Amino acid sequence: MLRSKTAVKPDGPAKVIDREWIVKKVLFVLAMMTVLGILLIVLMVTKESIPALTKAGPFNLFSSRWDPSTGHYGMLIFLVGTLLTTIGGLILGVPLAIGTAIFVTQMAPPRAAGFVSRGIEVLAGIPSIVIGWLGFTVLVPVLVKLTSSTGNGILAASIILAIMIMPTITAIASDALESVPVEYKQGSFGLGATRWQTIWHVMLPAARPGLIVAVILGMGRAIGETMAVALVIGPATAWPKSLWTPTHTLTTKILMEIQESTGTTRSALFTMALVLLLFSMMMIMLVRAFTKKKEYARGAA
Amino acid sequence: MREGPPKVEAEVIDVIKVRRVAREAQQRKSVRSDRVATIAVWSIAATGIGVLTFIVGVILWRGLATALTPGFIFGQPQAFKAGGGIWPMVVSSFYLAFLTLLIVLPVGVGAGIYMGEYSKQGWAARSIRFGADSLSTVPSLVFGIVGLSLLAVYLRLSYCLLAGAIVLALLNLPTIMRTTEESLKAVPQTYREASMGLGASKWYTIRKVVMPTAVPGITTGAVLTLGRVIGESAAVVYLVGMYVSRVPLSPLSPGAPMAANIYHLYNEAALLPDAARVASGESAFLLLVVLALMLLARLVSWFFKRKTRVADRFA
């Protein structure tokens, strides 16, 4: 309205306001690139997976038999592989990450806290392919000796994933612990609680939504991690008979087959990507649910 | 009858005594559990740092000797015989990172300015935030295969640096947008009020007053993105390429970023006799580059912080 009113006048101010309007619209378009990008990704993945969904059908796609030459496109093995490696990574990584977050925010002398959190940042920056290569050349040979197997499999992938998700979880958990009002801590100490009682009974429960968000985001990283897992998971299209037999996850299967495959096989791989996308969306919903609750609790307090 | 009350009293005293003893035991117990927990948490943190030191140490120990040989970094790669270098891969990595920043910086900073300075709480802001959150949660492999089917098949941009840069720009858009927005939010509101009070327009205020103050944060974010792009492999292996023998010159020529090349070496270990040596050397060099970029990001923010502190003193 302002624009139309001033645009009538042929002098200076009209031009200035017009430019303001253009700038705002241009910036808006740039910001909408995020929406456009995610829509593009969802649309492309959906479109590419339609042939598999119509030709093979959901029962075939979620069966446990992957054998494209006979028309079997089951992804159950890979789905289970993804879930097992993720759970393994969380079991190993979460205590390490939350413990480190407690150390950094509650216990460490300032210099040690700075040292540890900087170290964790460095760990987050190491490229996943480098960690994978390390797993392939160092971790797997150790597991070969310990288990007298090929060393590849769920356990190796879980250890690698634990290392990779630890920085994410530590960073967010530290933020959550730090955002607990200092009065909670003072109150607890004032009542005579020890430091650990304060952490266990006051700080951790107060930071719980943030801690859950941290674990969810770590889980998201574990589900989507590709390269580091690809080098230590096997690969083999078979059920993992033990923690150290070669198998596959969704991401590694897509990575290794997408280029050579065509037609329905390729489309089936895109269906797996669609499953990964659904996981991502689920994570976002969960994170939003928890952060909203946290804001509400703070608003009420 | 008389002996009653003292008895009760004794009982009361007993109860008090028992309670005190119990409380002291409780206190001892909590002190002990506090000590145990402290030791446990310290050792967890030590484990974390130990794992980090081990990882960095082993990568460097296995590859540093190779990585720091000039003939390795600047050498021509070999496909079938030992003794090759990685120069085209080094160039590809930096070329790709440069192209990515060229695309993502204008878009991401613009988007961040919109979110920080213009957007109101409405459906548009909500959907932009949702889009950014989704983009940063989607696995990078999915970016890679979408790029493969969209750019390579429909636009015929197969195996080139530009295709990789477009996809990586989208992958890093949320990060740049968020760092920009946060840097803008850190600029005091009084700056804007003063500028606009003097008659400056909003865009002029943003350009001349707000942005210069926000530049340190954005620069730090850009350097960190650089590190992430150089380390990214899953999104680029099938878009840019994994092996080239010549240095890529045009954005439309195929490249082989170091991260993708390591995966290639893992796959082709049977063909190249010293694949393990090359991959270890490349890993060490890649790690050094990423660490150097992280250090640079820290130096940038430290440098600007010092500068503003000096400026504050004179203000």
Rounded to an integer, what distance in angstroms lies between the CA atom of residue A80 and that of residue A89? 14
Q: Give yes or no: residues B33 and B180 share one domain.
A: no
In a mutational test of the B interface, the residue from A3, A32, A33 whose CB has the highest number of chain B CBs within 10 Å is A33
Question: What are the C-alpha distances in Å from A298 to residues A198, A200, A206, A210?
Answer: 20, 20, 10, 12
- Assess B303–A contact: CB distance below 8 Å, yes or no: no
| Residues of chain A neighbouring B148 (CB-CB closer than 8 A) | 258
User: Structurally, how many domains does chain B consist of?
Assistant: 2
Nearest to A37 among B53, B113, B173 (CB): B173
Interface A:B, Cβ pairs < 8 A: 250
Rounded to an integer, what distance in angstroms lies between the CA atom of residue B3 and that of residue B46? 64
Rounded to an integer, what distance in angstroms lies between the CA atom of residue B269 and that of residue B263? 10
Rounded to an integer, what distance in angstroms lies between the CA atom of residue B303 and that of residue B306? 5
Cross-chain residue pair B234–A137, CB shorter than 8 Å: no
- pLDDT digits over B247-264, tens only? 888 888 888 999 999 999
Cis before A235? omega within 30:
yes
- pLDDT digits over B7-33, tens only? 666 677 788 888 888 888 888 888 899
Rounded to an integer, what distance in angstroms lies between the CA atom of residue A195 and that of residue A105? 12
| Residues of chain A neighbouring B38 (CB-CB closer than 8 A) | 107, 195-196
- Assess B155–A contact: CB distance below 8 Å, yes or no: no
Q: How far apart are the first and last CA of chain B?
A: 88
Q: What is the pLDDT of residue B2?
A: 52
Spatial CA neighbour of A101 closest among A167, A196, A164: A167
Nearest to B138 among A107, A255, A277 (CB): A277
Nearest to A276 among B130, B139, B201 (CB): B139
Q: What is the pLDDT of residue A148?
A: 83
Rounded to an integer, what distance in angstroms lies between the CA atom of residue B170 and that of residue B104? 7
One-character DSSP codes across chain A: -HHHHHHTS-SHHHHHHHHHHHHHHHHHHHHHHHHHHHHHHHHHHHHHHHHHHHHTHHHHHTSS-EEGGGTEE--HHHHHHHHHHHHHHHHHHHHHHHHHHHIIIIIS-HHHHHHHHHHHHHHHHS-HHHHHHHIIIIIHHHHHHHHSS---SHHHHHHHHHHHHHHHHHHHHHHHHHTS-HHHHHHHHHTT--HHHHIIIIIHHHTHHHHHHHHHHHHHHHHH--HHHHTTS---SS--SSTTS----HHHHHHHHTTT--HHHHHHHHHHHHHHHHHHHHHHHHHHHHHHHHHHHHHH-
- Assess B31–A contact: CB distance below 8 Å, yes or no: yes
Provide the CA A15 distance to its chain's centre, in angstroms: 47
Cross-chain residue pair B37–A23, CB shorter than 8 Å: no
In a mutational test of the B interface, the residue from A17, A40, A41 whose CB has the highest number of chain B CBs within 10 Å is A41
CATH numeric code, A74-300: 1.10.3720.10
Q: What is the pLDDT of residue B135?
A: 93
Cross-chain residue pair A127–B276, CB shorter than 8 Å: no
Rounded to an integer, what distance in angstroms lies between the CA atom of residue B202 and that of residue B214? 16
Q: What is the pLDDT of residue A7?
A: 47
Q: Give yes or no: residues B169 and B310 share one domain.
A: yes
Nearest to A120 among B30, B42, B48 (CB): B48
Q: Give yes or no: residues B34 and B90 share one domain.
A: no
Q: How far is B138 from chain A (nearest CA, A)?
A: 6
> Predicted ipTM?
0.88
Is the pLDDT assigned to residue B93 strictly greater than 90?
A: yes
| Residues of chain B neighbouring A32 (CB-CB closer than 8 A) | 124, 128, 131
Q: What is the pLDDT of residue B71?
A: 86
- pLDDT digits over B33-79, tens only? 999 999 999 999 999 999 999 999 999 999 988 888 888 888 888 87
- Assess B61–A contact: CB distance below 8 Å, yes or no: no
| Residues of chain B neighbouring A132 (CB-CB closer than 8 A) | 266
- Assess B302–A contact: CB distance below 8 Å, yes or no: no
User: How many alpha carbons lie under 13 Å from residue B125 in its C-beta half-sphere?
Assistant: 13
Q: What is the pLDDT of residue B181?
A: 92
Cross-chain residue pair A30–B58, CB shorter than 8 Å: no
The segments of chain A whose pLDDT lies below 70 read 1-17, 293-301
Q: Give yes or no: residues B203 and B288 share one domain.
A: yes
Q: What is the CATH number of the domain that holds B255?
A: 1.10.3720.10
Domain that holds residue B3: 1-67
In a mutational test of the A interface, the residue from B24, B121, B138 whose CB has the highest number of chain A CBs within 10 Å is B138
Nearest to B131 among A38, A131, A277 (CB): A38
Please state the pTM of the whole predicted model: 0.88
Last residue of a domain, one of B26, B43, B67: B67
- The ranges assigned to domains in chain A are 1-35, 74-300
What is the arithmetic mean of pLDDT over B109-138? 91
Q: What is the pLDDT of residue B312?
A: 60
- What proportion of chain B, given as a percentage, has pLDDT over 90? 47
B68: which 2 tokens?
Answer: 């720091």
Spatial CA neighbour of A99 closest among B130, B46, B10, B67: B46
Nearest to B48 among A28, A37, A96 (CB): A96
| Residues of chain B neighbouring A128 (CB-CB closer than 8 A) | 231, 233-234
Q: How far is A211 from chain B (nearest CA, A)?
A: 17
Q: Is A247 within 8 Å of A115 (Cβ atoms)?
A: no
Is the pLDDT assigned to residue B266 strictly greater than 60?
A: yes
Is the pLDDT assigned to residue B123 strictly greater than 70?
A: yes
Q: Give yes or no: residues B169 and B57 share one domain.
A: no
Q: Is B300 within 8 Å of B223 (Cβ atoms)?
A: yes
